Chain A
Amino acid sequence: MNMTALLEVTVGGVAVGCVYSLLALGYSMIIRASGIIHFAQGEVMMLGSMCGLSALWVAPSLHPALVLLVGMLAGGALAGAMELLVYRTLRRRGVPLVSIITATVGFSIFLMNAARLGWGSEPLRYPDMFRGAVEVSGIRISPQLLWVAASGFVIMVALQIFLSKTRPGLAMQAVAQDPDAAQLMGVNLSRSMAATFAVAGAMAGAAGVMLGSLFFSFFEMGFITGLKAFVAATLGGLGSIGGAMLGGILFGLIETFGAVFISSAYKDAIGMMLLIAILLVLPQGLAGLWRRLR
């Protein structure tokens, strides 16, 4: 394999990894704050993807950043509404966590069918938002991949800043670490929880636009991608923000390199086997390793 191909595979892996990272972040934030494994996260991503695509149908020359924004708003609104209208009510009625998690699976299937109704069952191509290619020291790289990777990084940095520098962001972290103590400091639990779901949904929506622009949008796209991102979150250490970011990118790289060097037909299996192997060595995921090193 020559340098060009190596660079291409790496950028591709990072780009796909960013998609996993954004989704994994959502899983981790939600599980930290509420204990819920939000299995509908992949479908939130899919609907973000569909909404971004529809925005492009309406306004073909829409700037890619705005398409991304449409996806984020759609995903954020959807996940926030799910928490406010359903999960919160279930929690207040004392429904056990396991049952709520089961309800998220139900949501996932419902949303998939709703999308099929709205957007049909055929894979839908995103129109090319970019043309030409970018040259990095003589090596040509698809602008699509670079755009996805760059957007992913920008969003993740923005999330970090939001979480550690803003009032609602800090409140969300406080609720995740100690809900009682956060409330005693004047943080409104329901509001903070809804905000957590909304932010997680926005991450997923962005991931949907990114993944759609790399491949296509499809009503079932959230299923396997959502599962893989959950695996990436586990790899990073469930509940850890940094771990989710790193886990997603690592998983994207492993999968892409596995597909190129071993077999593209079995790339999913390769990723999963590796996960199990890593968990055998690092039960707490990458976040556990980080904690031990410090």
Chain B
Amino acid sequence: MLSVKGLVAGYGDVTCLRGVSLEVGAGEVVTLIGANGAGKSTTLRAISGLLRAREGGIWFDGQSLAGMTPDRIAAQGLVHVPEGRRIFPELTVEENLRVGGHARRRATEMRDGLEAAYHRFPRLKDRHRQRAGTLSGGEQQMLAFGRAMMARPRLLMLDEPTLGLAPLMVVEVARAVRAFRAEGITILLVEQNANLALGLADRGYVMETGRIVAQGAAASLLRDPDVRASYLGAGARSEPQHVGASTLEGNPP
């Protein structure tokens, strides 16, 4: 469904992506994991057209996205929920959703969309007249999801949806991702929380300094010793309660 080949991109003179290739098939949940600064967000920005690729190509449903503006790419059903949620803080919750439904020209389409978003995220309905900037982080993430739903996604690109959220909200995010999938929406999930991401995904890609360094089924990446050591905090994460000499010996500094 989405196919990225040899993507090279960056900011100014700095090159951040050095030939990224990845595939997302229809109905799949694919995750892209990697350390902070690896280039995950940049990859998504290049796919959604916010950043122009210097080399390489991006195809969605077989159609090249080269040179398309972000609004046209979104109109194809490739919807990007950017890092940091990026809701419109001074608009109300409902106004945010309406902007998400920009392509819904008819009032009935808009109403159906709002209903679906409120059904999925009842908290948004309770707060529909509240200014979005005053929502909690978790509520803002739900709003970002609801707003993206309004844009009628066929493929959703989610950039770090759990960043900075309380554990309870992380569970909510995971539930929302599963619900999107159950609806038949294809998902490309970027996460630093690799445990969670690989738990949700069918397949995964691991990114390091602008390159894909590993890929495979989520289950096998979860077992991969390198991936475990670098991204799953093997040892340190699995035995957090042992603080003392033995832990220090068993783990790298």
| Nearest Cβ on chain A to B106's Cβ, whole angstroms | 10
Q: Mark A162-184, 1 if CB is under 8 A from B, else 0.
A: 00100100110110011011111
Instruction: List A94-120 residues whose CB lies under 8 Å from chain B.
Output: none
Kindly identify which residue among A167, A174, A186 contacts B91, using a CB–CB cutoff of 8 Å.
Answer: A174
Contact A186 B86 (CB under 8 A): no
- CB-CB nearest in chain A for B70: A183
Most buried by A among B91, B103, B147: B91
If the complex has contacts A173-B91, A186-B151, are A181 and B82 also in contact, measured as CB distance less than 8 A?
Answer: yes
Contact B71 A189 (CB under 8 A): yes
Contact B71 A183 (CB under 8 A): yes
Residues of A within 8 A of B32 (CB): none
| Nearest Cβ on chain A to B70's Cβ, whole angstroms | 4
Give CA–CA (A77, B70) in the complex, Å. Answer: 27
Contact A171 B50 (CB under 8 A): no
Q: Mark A116-150, 1 if CB is under 8 A from B, else 0.
A: 00000000000000000000000000000000000
Contact B82 A180 (CB under 8 A): yes
Give CA–CA (A185, B91) in the complex, Å. Answer: 14
Give CA–CA (A178, B81) in the complex, Å. Answer: 13
Kindly identify which residue among A170, A181, A188, A189 contacts B98, using a CB–CB cutoff of 8 Å.
Answer: A170
Asked if B65 CB lies within 8 Å of chain A CBs, one says: no
Asked if A199 CB lies within 8 Å of chain B CBs, one says: no
If the complex has contacts A186-B71, A188-B69, A188-B71, are A181 and B86 also in contact, measured as CB distance less than 8 A?
Answer: yes
Determine, out of B56-64, B72-80, B167-175, B207-215, the stretch whose residues face the partner at the interface. Answer: B72-80
If the complex has contacts A177-B89, A177-B90, A178-B86, are A184 and B74 also in contact, measured as CB distance less than 8 A?
Answer: yes
Contact B88 A181 (CB under 8 A): yes
Secondary structure class of chain A's binding surface, majority of residues: helix
| Nearest Cβ on chain A to B174's Cβ, whole angstroms | 23
| Nearest Cβ on chain A to B50's Cβ, whole angstroms | 6
Contact B88 A167 (CB under 8 A): no
Asked if A14 CB lies within 8 Å of chain B CBs, one says: no
Q: Mark A185-205, 1 if CB is under 8 A from B, else 0.
A: 111110000000000000000
Contact B91 A170 (CB under 8 A): yes
Contact A178 B88 (CB under 8 A): yes
- CB-CB nearest in chain A for B92: A164
Residues of B within 8 A of A181 (CB): 82, 86-88
Residues of B within 8 A of A186 (CB): 71, 74-75, 102-103, 151
Residues of A within 8 A of B95 (CB): 164, 170, 173
A sample of 4 more A-B contacts (CB under 8 A), given A170-B102, A173-B91, A184-B79, is A170-B98, A173-B99, A174-B99, A184-B86
Residue ranges of B at the interface with A (Cβ–Cβ < 8 Å):
48-50, 69-71, 74-75, 79-82, 86-91, 95, 98-100, 102-103, 105, 147, 150-151
